[in-house]
Each structure stands twice: as C-alpha cells, then as structure tokens.
Structure 1
Amino acid sequence: MNNRLIKLGLTFGMAGLMLASTGCSENQKDNGYHITGNINGVDSGLVKLVSYNEEDRTSTTLDSVTFKNGSFELKGTVKYPEMMTLIFTPGNWATQIFVENGTIAVKADTTGAEHYDYSSYGGEKGANLKKIEVTGSANHDIYNKYENEPEQLKFKDEFAALNKAYEAEKDLKLKEKMRSKFDSVGQLSKAWQIKWINDFITKNPTSVAGAYIFNNHYRFNSSMPLNEMDVILNKFKDEAKQSTYFRLLVSDVAKRKRVLPGEQAPDFTLLKRDSTSFALSSTKGKYVMIDFWASWCKPCREAIPHWKNVYAKYRDKGFEIVSVSNDSRWSDWFKAMDQEQMPWIQLCDEFPIKNMPAKVSTLYQIPSLPGYVLLDKEGKILVHTIEEKDIDQKLAEIFKM
C-alpha cells in the first residue's frame, strides 16, 4: 500500500554505515567478543551495548561501562552473531554494530549525526551516528556491503528526494498524486533487494548477516508470497538457521499459513461499543468479512462508502461484516464510528502486551491497514487480502449477482 511504501522510503533515506572488517582467530572467537573503540565528540560518559528482542519489542543492556577521553572497552560472549546497538550518554548517540565473538574495533564521530526528538510521544531525544567505522566483524562487512551497493544507494537517494518534495508540497491533491512515484520506486527497489538477497544466500547459506538482511527486508514486505519465502528459507544452513532472525522468519511463515484460504478462521472475542463481548464464532451460518481498520487510517475511512454499498447489496442474502478497529484509544474509535455510521458489527482490538501490535490483527497476520478476511458459512477462510477487489470478486461468485 502507499502508506507502507512511504514508510519504506523514509527507511531507505537513512544513510548506511561506513564499515570495514578484519578477520580474527578461532581462539579469539572462543574467548567471546572484545570491543574497543573511540568516539569523537563525547569526551566522557557511559556506553551501553543493547540487544533488541523483536518478538516482544524489548531491549536488554548486555554491558555498560564508563569511558574517558572518548575511549571505551566492552567484553562478553554471544551464542550467535547479532546486530546490536551502542548508545553513548550523555546525548543518546547511537549506532548499530554486528556483534560476534572476536576482536572488534569501533571509531565513531558525532559530526553529521541525525537527531531525533520523541519526547512529545513519551520517548527520548537522541541522535543516530553517521560517521562510524567498524573492523573485525565479518557479518558487519556483509551488512555494510549490502547497504552501500550502488543500486541501493541510488534508491536511497531517490527516496530522499521524493520525501523532500512530498514534505515541501502544500497542495494536498498533488501530494496524493506523488504517492504513485513512491509506489513505482518502491517496487523497483524491492525487486533489486530480493534478487541481491537470493543471490547472496545461494552463495552464503550459513551467513547470519544474510538472515538478518532478509528479515529486515521482510518486515517492510510482510505480504511477500509464501512460496517465495519458503524457497529462500530452505537455502539457509548451519549457523544462519540457528540465528534469531531465521527463527523469526520461520515463525511468521507458520502464522501466515494458519490463516491461508481453506483454513479454519481462529475464533476471538472482543468488546463492542457498549462493552459487551462478541465472539466471531457467533456469526457461523453467514458469510462474514472481517474488516481490519482504524480511525487514523485514511484508506480505511475512504473504503467505508464502498462497504456500505456491498453490505446493503448482500446483507439479506446471508452476508455480515465485522469491523475490528486498531485504535488504542476508544475515544478515537467512538468519534470515527459516530462520523461514519457503519451499520454492521463494530469491535475494538486489544493491546494486551505493551509496545506490541494488536491481538487479533496479529492473530490474522494483517500486513497493513485496511485488511480484509472473508469467511464461509462454516467459518473457513475464503480470502485473505488487502485489496477491496478480491472481496468483491469472491462475493459476486458466491451470490452470483
């Protein structure tokens, strides 16, 4: 969808790390990692080595040391190579490095860092370092090579230019037209990326960096066909298959396969506006479309008139719609319902785990909003899609109108 591609463009706009690597002996690897480094621009303070758990979106500080004159040293052991974050305070200067057992040297400079401020959202202020040199991590060498391939850099520059023009444009209609350019550039960059990933993994099936790069690509392309996913995943071997990145990908594939057409739709119970419970299983005997939406989702709101027409056309023939809102604030949900006046079942998703996506949209592996799942009278999945036309076509077949 357009919104996801714009997000992808913003991600591509971030400059890649400028890295190099040297080898280390097997004895050094057995003794764990030894990171030495220097940062220019922060004379003294605290440096932390932070590991991020993508499954529950939590961060763990593996080590932290005070440093003087910009110099620091970190020691420890990792079971498998992992992309981690170095954070220097004061200032929250951050950079990612691929940590693996062995000797790793880091040289960083705060000049030209990209600053951010999330304080208005309850977060922190900080900066992402752009001048960073890492030696001793073979996996980081691979990641750096991928990020700095000429084609990759070309797409980054294109996205940066598009983002700049988009932000500068004041005419809303022209801004909407500009989205098609994001689409076309996004498709080209995605095709180049997956070819690079395929070629690399074919030649380097044991590479943890390869698994990391593929996992990153998938997070922005989570509707990637499952047959393509299986082909790439089956190439990985040994250490790559033991990595957290491979495990995450395999887990996502399994979850997506559980909601493929032909599978029984997972039951769920959510609250309606009046706080009474509603179970999906209570709709058996009807064809049901689950509509995943949110008050803040513009394409979702724009689709509502279409679904009103569809509902009016088929409701007396045994068709029902169950809308599941992704709003975390019920006040926003209430306001949108009052404005849109949707005459079908309205439920609100739950966020039982802090910082994690909504429960039911995750259960149904909805890659973006809006998302639609059509069920038959027995509660089996007929269509799982982000496209209105896919639902329209199937309903026309069912009701032969």
Structure 2
Amino acid sequence: MKKIYFLLILLAPFFVQGQDVYNELNENQNTNWYNAIFKSSEDSVLFYQEAMKLPQVPEARRENLENYQKKLQLYRDGLHSFVNLHRQDDSAAQVLLISCFRNIEINLDTLSSMAKTLDGKGLNNKYADYLLQEIAGRENDEVGKMLVPFSMPNVHGDMISSNNFKGHYVLVLFWASWCIPCRAEIPQMLSVYHQFKNSGFQVLAISVDSQKQNWLQAISQDKSDWHNLFDGSAWNTKVVRNYAIHVIPQSILVNPEGEIVAKNISPQGLQKLLFQNLK
C-alpha cells in the first residue's frame, strides 16, 4: 500500500494546541538550525526511500538498498547525537516528531529509548507531550495487540461500534476523499469486500475529511457500500489519534478475537488471508 502523503496527526490530548504544534514543527523544518543539521541527510533518506518503491532490476535494487541503509544510519546517528546534546531543551522532542511526520524509518524501540532520555525542560513541554502520544499510538497498532474499541457515526448518523463486529475479520481503513492513492485502491478493496462480506468479513472505513459533503460525494462516486464512518474531526478523530495515523492510506486488519493480525495489507494479500481463514 503506497504512502505518498506525509501529513499531520493531532495526537495531543488538546485540539487547538495540537494544531499549533504541527504548524510550528512545519515551520521549524525550514529554519536554519534544522536545515543545517538534518535537511541534507533527510533528503538523501527520502530520495532512496522513494527509489525503493520503483520497479528495478535486482542489481539496481541492491545498490539502492545499500545506499538507503547507509543514509538512514547516518540520519539515525545524527538524531541520537542531537537528542543527547539537547535532551534538556524542547528541540530534541521537535526533531523526533519531525522524523515521525516525515515517515523516516525510526523503529518504536529506538524512538521510545530516545524519548526516555529527555529530562527537565526537554520533557516538560508541548512537543514532548505530543511525542509521547505518538509513541503510545504506535504501540497500539502493533501486530498482536488488541484493537482499541471505538464508535463513530455512519452516513445516516447512526453510531457504529467496533465491538459490534466481534467474531468477524475487520479491516479498519483510514482514507480521505482528496487522497488519490486511497481512492485508487478502493475498487480492489471493494471487490474483496463483496467476495467475503457474507462469510465473516467487514470494513470500517474511517475518513479524515473535514467536509462532510466531500466525504459523501466520494462514497457515492466510489460506490463504497461498506461501513463508512465520519465525525468531522479530521485528524483529531479519536481513533486516528489512538493509532498515530499521519500518513494515508493506512489499514489495520483485526481477527475475530479482536487481535491485530496485519497492517497496510494489500488487496491481494487480504484476499489470500481471508480465503485461507474464511473457507
């Protein structure tokens, strides 16, 4: 599943301040101190990260992978050094959050470990609060964890609870009407849904749209007849914050016991898994 939009997530337990945090971080990405320390390294990582998604002959793929791993390690080393040096001021939490927003590959253990080094003013600020929420969200969506229950209104305004679908495989799909790769994948996902919807499979499609009319129009255009959910909170939607979603499309697949068994599964992978388990 392609992830080409690098977007904000409002993870803090306050909404307006969460928006302010993102806006400030976005500005900081263009400041002299950030550019001088991280921009070149970040650009290299993202360049090879995108290159890895393209069709390539084996030799070129190996070369790109080697270059990517080298550039990523340089970025990680720089991140470690910066956080250790600035662990008592808020810039450490800022750069950790920027790496999350930019979708740079920093695993959860590494992110948590660096966050634990923050101290004093480095820990007691809005960026650190936001960072801890990001980490909690990432922990929630690990394979093997249980789905955090949620309820949202559907197109008719009726509240739909995830608890109503225990005993089913459930795909929780995060999307938006304006997200081109989201919309492009919907026909394939719909095909899988129609194949298995009467055999113990359901889809809860959570929109991060802010305008209801745009959401309804997209549903009509795509003919998506699964459970479409929307509350108008966009990136403030509780379930979006609970799972640290700031890139779409994304998905979480839950088994009949409510356990997360896959993330960002492709339509082909989903079809194969359901065929094996819902015969």
Q: Distance in 2 between matches of 1:347 and 1:295?
A: 12
Partner of 1:152: 39
Q: Which runs of 5+ in 1 are unaligned?
A: 9-52, 60-81, 86-94, 97-129, 131-142, 163-178
Unaligned runs of 5+ in 2: 54-63
Higher strand share: 1
Identity percentage of aligned residues: 21
Assess, with a 3 A threshold, how the Cα gap between structure 1 residues 233 and 397 changes in structure 2: closer, same or farther. farther
Aligned to 1:270: 152
Partner of 1:66: none
1:111-190 superposed matches below 5 A: 144-149=32-37, 152-153=39-40, 180=50
Aligned AA for 2:251? Y
Give, in angstroms, the shift of residue 299 of structure 1. Answer: 0.7
- Give the distance between the partners of 1:155 and 1:252, measured in 2 at CA: 20
Q: Given the alignment, which residue of 255, 258, 262 partners 1:379?
A: 258
Q: How big is the shift at 1:188? A: 8.0
TM-score when normalising by structure 1:
0.52
Relative to structure 2, which stretch is displaced further, 283-292 or 184-193?
Answer: 184-193
After TM superposition, the score normalised by the length of structure 2 is 0.72
Q: Map 1:322-337 to 2 at 5 A.
A: 322-337=204-219
Amino acid at match of 1:152: K
1:2 and 2:1 are equivalent in the alignment: no
- Letter aligned with residue 285 of structure 1: G
The answer as to whether partners of 1:285 and 1:377 remain within 8 angstroms in 2 is yes
- Structure-2 change in CA distance of 1:3 and 1:379 (3 Å): same
Query: Are the aligned partners of 2:212 and 2:232 in contact in 1 as well (CA < 8 Å)?
Result: no
Further displaced range: 324-333 or 296-305: 324-333
1:259 aligned to 2:146? no
Aligned to 1:367: 246
Distance 2:115 2:34 in 1: 19
In structure 1, C-alpha distance between the alignment counterparts of 2:70 and 2:194, rounded to whole Å: 40
Is the 8 Å Cα contact of residues 289 and 375 (structure 1) preserved in structure 2? yes
Higher relative contact order (CA 8 A, sep 6+): 2
Pairing 1:316–2:198 present: yes
Aligned-pair Cα RMSD in Å:
4.1
Distance 1:307 1:243, change over 3 A: same
Bigger helix share? 2
Offset at residue 372 of structure 1 (A): 0.6
Aligned: 1:388 with 2:266: yes
Q: Deviations over 1:172-196 (max 9, x none)?
A: xxxxxxx956978999876543321
Deviations 1:241-265 (A, max 9, x none): 3343333212321233233333332
- 1:48-75 CA-to-partner distances (Å, cap 9, x unmatched) read xxxxx9953349xxxxxxxxxxxxxxxx
Q: In the alignment, is the contact (CA less than 8 A) between 2:146 and 2:260 conserved in 1? A: yes
Larger radius of gyration between Structure 1 and Structure 2: 1
In 2, the alpha carbon distance for the partners of 1:227 and 1:288 equals: 27
Structure-to-structure mapping, 1:348-363, within 5 angstroms = 348-351=230-233, 357-363=236-242
Q: Give me the whole-angstrom Cα distance separating, in 1, the residues matched to 2:268 and 2:70.
A: 24
**1:296 maps to which of 155, 169, 178:** 178
Deviations along 1:109-155, whole A, 9 cap, x unmatched? xxxxxxxxxxxxxxxxxxxxx9xxxxxxxxxxxx8555224x73586
SS of the residue 2:197 aligns to: helix
The structure-2 alpha-carbon separation of the partners of 1:187 and 1:372, relative to structure 1 and needing over 3 Å to count, comes to farther
How far apart are the structure 1 equivalents of 2:205 and 2:166? 16
Q: CA deviation at 1:298?
A: 0.6
Preserved contact between residue 172 and residue 252 of structure 2 (Cα < 8 Å): yes
Could you tell me whether the CA contact under 8 Å between 1:2 and 1:182 is conserved in 2? no
CA contact (8 A) 2:150 2:161 kept: yes
CA shift digits 1:212-233 (9 cap, x unpaired): 3223322323874211212222
Q: Does 1:226 align with 2:112?
A: no
